[in-house]
């Protein structure tokens, strides 16, 4: 995984004046586009689109210093207008392109290189478990993508569940953990800026088919899952576990992501400072 990450960084640098497509990412890294963007955000501390934009503007700064015109630089790096480029450039470095040309102001954003940094001796508890195909029955909606804090749209979805729906879900629940699952899937392209949406389902795992008109059903195909238990303040501990799963465990695990929804559940039966959760990540052995 680290080798393929660095190959992608090289590819991006070699094609900064061109579109970086989802097909490019999948071909080089070997996982689906939206799974990779999630992993990159956790590892790099920024979205992939932000990284690409910063690299382009860094190279644009060099071009301006070396005498290229603002117009040429703007169109070289894919901007549709000089005004759009000038605004983006000023937001990035605090100066207009014309000021950079006049005063030879330089700001750089170096290419990323990924490597293993062993620190702290902190281990992650996990288990690998093969799960047969199962259904999740519940309610869903499109919600904004959000990596940190409480997602209020998901809270509103949970609050919208009626007593009848709750009763129906409980009647169908016949699989571990026999309580509410949070299932995320169908990330859209806005994922790269955390401005897009995903489909979030709140429901229960079941071997049964949904007979109720006021509930929805998705089927999760048979697969190997890495399961990460965690206990601590909610939602911070859960979100930290997700980040470590993608940024620390996955690159050195010998596994890669399978193209299935991400799943988690939380037991809200005690103080908010000591909440038990699990993160389920669908994986498959690396093929390269």
Distance of CA 128 to CAs 82, 152, 253, Å?
52, 32, 11
Tell me the pLDDT of the chain (288 aa) as tens digits: 668 888 999 999 999 999 988 888 888 887 777 677 777 877 777 888 889 999 999 999 999 999 999 999 999 999 999 999 999 999 999 999 999 998 888 888 888 877 655 444 445 688 999 999 999 999 999 998 776 667 789 999 999 999 999 999 999 999 999 999 999 988 765 444 455 788 999 999 999 999 999 999 999 999 999 999 999 988 888 888 888 887 778 877 888 888 899 999 999 876 778 899 999 999 998 876
- The correct CATH number of 127-285 out of 3.40.50.920, 3.20.80.10, 3.40.1050.10, 3.30.70.141 is 3.20.80.10
- H or E element at residue 93: helix 82-93
Confidence (pLDDT) at 189: 57
- 191: which DSSP letter? G
User: What angle, 0 to 180 degrees and rounded to 10, lies between the N-to-C axes of helices 22-29 and 33-44?
Assistant: 80
Confidence (pLDDT) at 64: 94
Q: How many other C-beta atoms can be found within 10 angstroms of the C-beta atom of residue 274?
A: 11
The maximal CA–CA distance of the chain, rounded, in angstroms, is 72
Alpha-carbon distance 35 to 253, whole Å?
Answer: 16
Q: Where are the domains of the chain?
A: 2-103, 127-285
**Exposed, middle or buried, 272 (CB in 10 Å: 0-12/13-18/19+)?**
exposed
The structural architecture, per CATH, of the domain 2-103 is Orthogonal Bundle (1.10)
Confidence (pLDDT) at 279: 93
Confidence (pLDDT) at 147: 65
Helices (H) then strands (E): counts for the chain: 10, 9
Q: Which residue has the tokens 């869903």?
A: 140
Q: Is the overall model pTM greater than 0.85, yes or no?
A: no
């Amino acid at each position: 995984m680290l080798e393929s990450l660095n190959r992608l960084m090289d590819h991006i640098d070699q094609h900064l004046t061109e579109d970086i497509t989802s097909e490019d990412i999948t071909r080089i890294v070997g996982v689906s586009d939206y799974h990779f963007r999630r992993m990159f955000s956790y590892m790099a501390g920024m979205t992939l689109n932000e990284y690409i934009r910063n690299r382009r503007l860094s190279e644009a700064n060099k071009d301006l210093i070396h005498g290229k015109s603002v117009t040429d630089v703007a169109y070289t790096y894919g901007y549709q207008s000089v005004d759009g480029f000038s605004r983006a450039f000023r937001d990035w470095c605090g100066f207009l392109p014309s000021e950079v040309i006049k005063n030879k102001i330089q700001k750089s954003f170096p290419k990323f290189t990924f490597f293993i940094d062993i620190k702290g001796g902190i281990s992650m508890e996990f288990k690998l478990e093969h799960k047969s195909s199962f259904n999740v029955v519940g309610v869903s909606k499109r919600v904004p993508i959000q990596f940190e804090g409480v997602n209020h749209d998901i809270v509103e979805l949970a609050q919208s569940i009626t007593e009848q729906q709750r009763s129906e879900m409980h009647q169908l629940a016949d699989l571990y953990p026999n309580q509410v699952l949070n299932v995320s899937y169908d990330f859209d392209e806005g994922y790269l800026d955390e401005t897009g949406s995903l489909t979030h389902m709140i429901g229960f795992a079941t071997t049964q088919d949904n007979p109720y008109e006021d509930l929805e059903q998705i089927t999760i195909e048979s697969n190997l899952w890495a399961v990460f238990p965690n206990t601590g303040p909610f939602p911070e501990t859960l979100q930290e576990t997700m980040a470590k799963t993608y940024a620390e465990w996955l690159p050195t695990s010998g596994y890669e992501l399978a193209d299935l929804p991400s799943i988690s559940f939380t037991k809200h039966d005690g103080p908010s400072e000591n909440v038990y959760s699990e993160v389920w990540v669908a994986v498959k052995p690396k093929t390269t």
